[in-house]
């Protein structure tokens, strides 16, 4: 049984930064040093998903200097991103986990700022922050959206799934999210069947069952945005199917106090068809767009949900 009231003293909160990688040593090196150079000490766990470049050789050289803080685990065969995340968290010894993909990296004070916040909230099990979105050269493209107007926003557990359902509470990608290690392990970790396609969101849904959430409205990480990223390799129809399945799961978890204000699940599914239909239209996938937009375009409530999302994104 988890002790959600556990609240380590501020000086004893220990972070583990879990970095997953595959064949991207030059990017990985940046990610590793962004963790090792944090203003508060942390453990760094690197899980190598069977890279066949110079990754293993280079990290073994780093281990000579950073053996007390750096853990390296290499899979003998490629098992996928979700399996790498799960292995990293199992190997970690920190109270809180900060995930980092190999092409992302942390601001030097990231963990210090997270520590200041989570140390004040014993019920928190997950924390998200803003991040800069950058291109492959490191040029800033945008910032992820804020949640609310305060610098720190605290959301009680009973309000999280309602917020996730209506996209008022966007935890974001791994570079934005930290969580309690014991809670993650209780949820059985990431689902490899969802590899690179909502596997992170699936995890946030499960973690949020166990406690409250914190949002830090300050950019403390950097997320690299690639043209033709892995999630783009899934068809729009497949992404819609998983998105719809996720929403149905979240819908069942919404606290009873929100039921009176909740759109029907049919309305939410219609909104998703509208959203993905417009994505298909933008990408000039006209036959897919046509199949998804009709009859969704004739439902005003679906348009309201869509415009509400767009206004928040802007």
Q: What is the pLDDT of residues 195-224, one digit of tens each?
A: 777 899 999 999 999 999 999 999 999 999
- Which residue, 197, 226, 255, sits at the end of a domain? 226
The band of 311, judged by pLDDT with boundaries at 50, 70 and 90, is confident
- Which residue, 226, 261, 285, sits at the end of a domain? 226
Helix axes 286-293, 236-253, angle to 10 degrees: 30
Question: Over 50: is that where the pLDDT of 297 sits?
Answer: yes
Question: Residue 57 belongs to what H/E stretch?
Answer: helix 55-66
pLDDT, tens digit, 9 for 90 and up, residues 56-100: 999 999 999 999 999 999 999 999 999 999 999 999 999 999 999
Counted domains in the chain: 2
SS3 154: strand
Least confident of 48-52, 183-187, 228-232, 280-284: 228-232
Q: Is residue 6 part of a domain?
A: no
Question: Over 90: is that where the pLDDT of 11 sits?
Answer: no
pLDDT, tens digit, 9 for 90 and up, residues 119-136: 999 899 999 999 999 998
Give residue 51's domain range.
11-226
pLDDT, tens digit, 9 for 90 and up, residues 100-111: 999 999 999 999
| 239 and 218 housed in the same domain | no
Question: Residue 81 belongs to what H/E stretch?
Answer: helix 81-91
Which 8-state DSSP code applies to residue 257? G
pLDDT, tens digit, 9 for 90 and up, residues 227-243: 755 555 689 999 999 99
Beta strands per DSSP E along 200-283:
212-224
| 48 and 20 housed in the same domain | yes
C-beta atoms surrounding 62 within 10 Å: 18
| 295 and 262 housed in the same domain | yes
Q: Is residue 4 part of a domain?
A: no
**What percent helix, strand, coil does the chain show, rounded to 5?**
45, 20, 35
pTM (2 d.p.): 0.91
| Residue-level pLDDT at 228 | 58
Q: Over pLDDT 90: what percentage of the chain?
A: 85
| Residue-level pLDDT at 230 | 54
The band of 150, judged by pLDDT with boundaries at 50, 70 and 90, is very high
What is the distance between the terminal CA atoms of the chain, rounded to a whole angstrom? 42
SS3 233: helix
d(CA 143, CA 160): 22
Q: Which CATH number do you get for residue 66?
A: 3.90.550.10
Least confident of 8-22, 82-96, 242-256: 8-22
d(CA 185, CA 190): 10
Q: Is residue 84 part of a domain?
A: yes
**C-alpha closest to that of 201 among 249, 148, 254:** 249
CA atoms within 13 A on the CB side of 42: 31
Q: Is residue 2 part of a domain?
A: no
| Residue-level pLDDT at 1 | 44
| 156 and 46 housed in the same domain | yes
């Amino acid at each position: 049984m988890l002790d959600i009231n556990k609240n380590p003293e501020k000086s004893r909160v220990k972070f583990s930064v879990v970095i997953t990688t595959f064949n991207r040593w030059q990017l990985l090196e940046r990610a590793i040093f962004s963790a090792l150079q944090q203003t508060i000490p942390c453990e760094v766990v690197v899980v190598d998903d069977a890279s066949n470049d110079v990754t293993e050789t280079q990290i073994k050289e780093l281990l000579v200097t950073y053996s007390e803080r750096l853990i390296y685990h290499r899979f003998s065969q490629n098992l996928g991103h979700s399996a790498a995340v799960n292995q990293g968290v199992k190997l970690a010894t920190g109270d809180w986990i900060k995930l980092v993909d190999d092409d992302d990296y942390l601001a030097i004070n990231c963990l210090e700022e997270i520590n200041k916040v989570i140390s004040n909230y014993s019920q928190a099990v997950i924390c998200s922050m803003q991040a800069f979105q950058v291109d492959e050269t490191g040029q800033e493209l945008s910032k992820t959206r804020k949640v609310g107007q305060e610098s720190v926003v605290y959301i009680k557990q009973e309000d999280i799934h309602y917020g996730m359902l209506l996209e008022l509470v966007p935890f974001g990608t791994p570079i934005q999210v930290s969580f309690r290690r014991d809670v993650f392990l209780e949820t059985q970790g990431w689902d490899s069947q969802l590899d690179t396609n909502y596997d992170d969101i699936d995890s946030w849904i499960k973690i949020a069952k166990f406690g409250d959430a914190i949002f830090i409205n300050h950019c403390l990480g950097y997320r690299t945005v690639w043209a033709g990223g892995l999630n783009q390799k899934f068809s729009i129809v497949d992404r819609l199917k998983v998105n719809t399945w996720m929403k149905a799961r979240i819908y069942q978890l919404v606290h009873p106090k929100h039921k009176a204000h909740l759109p029907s699940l049919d309305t939410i599914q219609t909104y998703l068809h509208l959203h993905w239909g417009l994505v298909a239209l933008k990408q000039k996938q006209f036959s897919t767009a046509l199949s998804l937009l009709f009859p969704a375009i004739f439902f005003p409530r679906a348009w309201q949900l869509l415009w509400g999302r767009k206004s928040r994104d802007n």
